[in-house]
């Protein structure tokens, strides 16, 4: 009954959901294909061959997190069906696995909307032997149709916060035990932490194991990292990256950058940043401003222009061998390309990881730590709370707390500038970050081991006489 009520409401409100997606697509850019056949479970291209392992990575972050797992499964000869919900996730998957897509070993599709008919047709067409949902993508009809199609569902590198648990409880207040029953239908939940595992078990997942966070198994592109470090060396100036800014944060950081350009010496305390009106020296840091989504590149450019900050777009200089000389009078590089974050982190002396200075929940700081770049994050980090706590505890990162007396972005920029004056301490933070990441790797191998054991037990059970 709860399932039918949920589906009825989904059908009633779907026009509003599609209108919101269209608005988001218009604002964000990218190819959303809201009404394409794939999103309704229809596929003109026949699936030929063995049953694939289906992996769902909803967006950009999940796709990057799943890279090591997908790569290992491909190396074992598996065919992969990779689905997404957002254009950024699909574009990243296409970039990471271009060769496998061309060879036919991996196919990308949109995840169908959570209607019974669309999800039923999805399973009937592809007949995957196993479903892997990355981090937290649990939809009632999708899980129900997987059960009816006898496709085991695994929640991989699962994160489940107290906030998510509260959302589930509120949904179940409206739909009786809809979400509890859905989580109870998941065959195996492979959690990032003990706390995630406990909350998943409390919400109804029956088979929960702790395997760690896939993001620690980040596959750093060696050439990009070396190129970034070489670019920094040729530039001859310290670099501060302000990475993955989201809505509202560019408007916080551009004034903070401007303020630092006008004032050299700052006294940083627990309560305020006192600025002295002294111009920056000749070796003033170069700031990399890196919006997370491409639709905001132009918006960030307008903010820089309005603040009279001397900036260039990365897209105009990235292939220019004379760029280090041309950047001598530049104050900010607006990084308006996708897929180059390892280069930017490797080129930087300090990384301010945004998404955490406005209430967006934070962004992943593990990649910067893996490269050895010290990190500063803001007060809003609920989506990466465990990683932030771990990095702060070992000294690889610090977290700026909220204060009524000083803007957190201003304080982050001032702190980053002050770190540049202590190169030995800065290098030590970078080493601590690399060591911390190295201590937490292995989630990919543990997940694959759990999958192998799960499939072996399932095969053995199916061969038992009844």
Burial of residue 382, with CB atoms counted within 10 A of its CB: 0-12 exposed, 13-18 middle, 19 or more buried = middle
Tokens for 391, please give them.
Answer: 């990095």
* SS3 state of residue 148: helix
Q: Give me the DSSP letters along 414-452.
A: HHHHHHTT-HHHHHHHHHHHHHHHHHT--HHHHHHHHHH
**pLDDT tens digit sequence for 27-46:** 777 789 999 999 999 998 89
Q: Flag whether pLDDT at 272 surpasses 80.
A: no
Compute the distance between CA of residue 334 and CA of residue 205 in angstroms, rounded to an integer. 44
Over residues 214-243, mean pLDDT: 95
Please give the sequence-ordered ranges of beta strands (E in DSSP) within 70-125, or none if there are none.
80-84, 106-110
- Work out the pLDDT band at 267, boundaries 50, 70, 90: very low
Q: Structural domains in the chain?
A: 30-212+442-463 (3.40.50.11720), 222-439 (3.40.50.2000)
- In whole angstroms, how far apart are CA 230 and each of 144, 224, 318, 321, 348? 52, 10, 13, 12, 11
pLDDT at 402 (0 to 100): 80
Q: Flag whether pLDDT at 277 surpasses 50.
A: no
Strand partners, 154: 132, 188
- Work out the pLDDT band at 268, boundaries 50, 70, 90: very low
**pLDDT tens digit sequence for 435-458:** 999 999 999 999 999 999 999 998
Compute the distance between CA of residue 328 and CA of residue 134 in angstroms, rounded to an integer. 44
Compute the distance between CA of residue 359 and CA of residue 261 in angstroms, rounded to an integer. 27
Mean pLDDT of the chain: 91
pLDDT at 263 (0 to 100): 66
Q: What angle do CA 211, 216, 219 make, to 5 degrees?
A: 125
Taking only Cα atoms into account, the Rg of the chain, rounded to an integer number of angstroms, comes to: 24
Higher pLDDT, 412 or 24: 412
Backbone angles phi, psi at 239, to 5 degrees: -130, 135
Over residues 137-145, mean pLDDT: 96
Compute the distance between CA of residue 164 and CA of residue 154 in angstroms, rounded to an integer. 18
Q: Flag whether pLDDT at 55 surpasses 50.
A: yes
Report, as residue numbers or ranges, the catalytic residues. Answer: 62
pLDDT at 451 (0 to 100): 97
């Amino acid at each position: 009954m709860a399932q039918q009520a949920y589906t009825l409401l989904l059908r009633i409100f779907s026009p509003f959901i599609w209108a919101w997606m269209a608005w988001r697509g218009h604002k964000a850019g990218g190819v959303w294909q809201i009404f394409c056949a794939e999103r309704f479970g229809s596929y003109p291209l026949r699936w030929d061959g063995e049953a694939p392992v289906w992996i769902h990575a909803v967006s950009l972050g999940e796709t990057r997190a799943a890279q090591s797992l997908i790569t290992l499964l491909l190396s074992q000869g598996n065919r992969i069906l990779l689905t997404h919900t957002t254009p950024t996730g699909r574009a990243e998957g296409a970039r990471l696995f271009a060769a496998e897509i061309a060879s036919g070993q991996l196919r990308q599709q949109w995840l169908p909307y959570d209607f019974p008919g669309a999800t039923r047709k999805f399973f009937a067409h592809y007949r995957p032997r196993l479903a892997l949902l990355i981090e937290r993508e649990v939809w009632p009809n999708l899980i129900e149709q997987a059960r009816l199609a006898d496709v085991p569902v695994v929640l991989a590198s699962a994160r489940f916060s107290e906030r998510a648990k509260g959302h589930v409880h509120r949904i179940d207040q409206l739909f009786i035990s809809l979400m509890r029953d859905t989580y109870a239908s998941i065959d195996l939940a492979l959690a990032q932490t003990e706390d995630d595992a406990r909350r998943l078990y409390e919400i109804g997942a029956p088979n929960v194991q702790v395997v760690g966070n896939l993001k620690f198994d980040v596959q750093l592109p060696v050439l990009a990292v070396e190129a970034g470090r070489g670019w920094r060396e040729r530039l001859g100036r310290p670099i501060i990256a302000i990475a993955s800014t989201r809505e509202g944060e560019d408007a916080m950081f551009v004034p903070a950058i401007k303020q630092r350009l006008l004032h050299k010496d700052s006294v940083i305390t627990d309560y305020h940043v006192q600025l002295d009106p002294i111009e920056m020296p000749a070796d003033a840091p170069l700031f990399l401003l890196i919006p997370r989504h491409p639709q905001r590149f132009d918006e960030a450019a307008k903010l820089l222009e309005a603040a009279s900050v001397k900036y260039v777009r990365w897209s105009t200089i990235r292939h220019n061998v004379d760029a280090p000389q041309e950047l001598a009078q530049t104050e900010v590089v607006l990084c308006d390309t996708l897929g180059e974050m390892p280069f930017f982190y490797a080129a930087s002396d300090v990384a301010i990881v945004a998404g955490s200075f406005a209430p967006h929940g934070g962004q992943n700081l593990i990649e910067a730590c893996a490269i050895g770049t010290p990190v500063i994050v803001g007060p809003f980090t609920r989506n990466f709370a465990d990683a932030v706590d771990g990095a702060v505890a070992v000294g690889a990162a610090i977290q700026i707390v909220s204060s009524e007396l000083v803007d957190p972005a201003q304080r982050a920029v001032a702190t980053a500038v002050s770190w540049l004056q202590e190169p030995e301490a800065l290098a030590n933070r970078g080493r601590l970050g690399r060591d911390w990441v190295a201590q937490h790797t292995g989630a990919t191998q543990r997940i694959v081991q759990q999958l192998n054991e799960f499939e072996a037990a399932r095969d053995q059970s199916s061969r038992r006489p009844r």
